[in-house]
Amino acid sequence: MRYTASNIPSLKNRTVFFDANPLIYIFWPTTTDSKEADDYGSILATLMKNNVNLVINEIVLSEIINRVLRIEFNKAGLFQEKFKEFRDSAEGKSVQEDIYKIIKNRILNIFQITNESFSKEDFDSMLTVTKLDFNDKLIELLCKKKNMLLLTHDFDFSLSDVDILSANRKFKSR
């Protein structure tokens, strides 16, 4: 099933798993007029107001850290410099400290952490070429196993058989 912000009051008894991209839109908007930042910020506020259980996992945290560090690297215009050199520089370390502060002080204050031990059979089932990258396959299977609704902007999940909440208009046409 696909849901939009208008469906949130009906989701009170669900657990919502946040993918990395909505959190990046909310906590690291790349422009001052980001529609996605507004949309997902509003969704987060409405979910919180409705006391919906909100969760993330270590994969999402890793994706946030790595993606935001790349965003800041690109914004610094250091295209000649190698990324790992940027990451290890004083500026890169400062960016990492900022990312960690936001995760510690804002994200981890809102979200519970969930995880799952996957079996060899689970991994075997994920080792097929599909639209989803491997991290997305892990998230998809986690949501299936725990009957969680996935909040994502990533249309790669369009063929997934998990329930999805999104502000991405492409999901509405499915």
Q: What is the DSSP letter of 117?
A: P
Position 34 pLDDT exceeds 90: no
* Confidence category of residue 17, pLDDT binned at 50, 70, 90: very high
Apex CA 143: angle with CA 104 and CA 108, to 5°?
10
Please, what's the b/e burial string for 19-35 (b: 16 or more CB within 10 A of its CB; e: otherwise)? bbbbbbbbbbbeeeeee
0.85 exceeded by the pTM? yes
Length of the chain: 174
CA torsion sign, 12 to 6 to 21 to 41? negative
pLDDT, mean of residues 48-52: 94
**Distance separating the N- and C-terminal Cα atoms of the chain:** 10
The neighbour count for residue 60, using CB atoms within 10 Å, is: 24
| 127-159: pLDDT as tens digits | 888 889 999 999 999 999 999 999 999 999 998
* Confidence category of residue 174, pLDDT binned at 50, 70, 90: very low
What are the structure tokens assigned to 127, written together? 């080792």
Residue type at position 110? I
DSSP β-bridge partners for residue 3? 165
Residue spans of alpha helices (H) in 28-160: 35-49, 58-75, 83-88, 90-102, 108-110, 120-126, 134-145
Higher pLDDT: 30 or 64? It is 64
Per-range mean pLDDT, top range of 58-62, 116-120, 166-170: 58-62
Closest by CA to 76, choosing from 103, 95, 63, 99, is 95
Is 26:161 a contact under the CB 8 Å cutoff? no
| 75-99: pLDDT as tens digits | 888 766 688 888 999 999 999 999 9
Is 103:60 a contact under the CB 8 Å cutoff? no
Q: Which of 6-10, 19-23, 126-130, 135-139 comes out lowest in average pLDDT?
A: 126-130
Q: What percent of the chain has pLDDT over 90?
A: 70
| 102-127: pLDDT as tens digits | 999 999 999 999 988 888 998 888 88
Position 10 pLDDT exceeds 50: yes
Position 52 pLDDT exceeds 70: yes
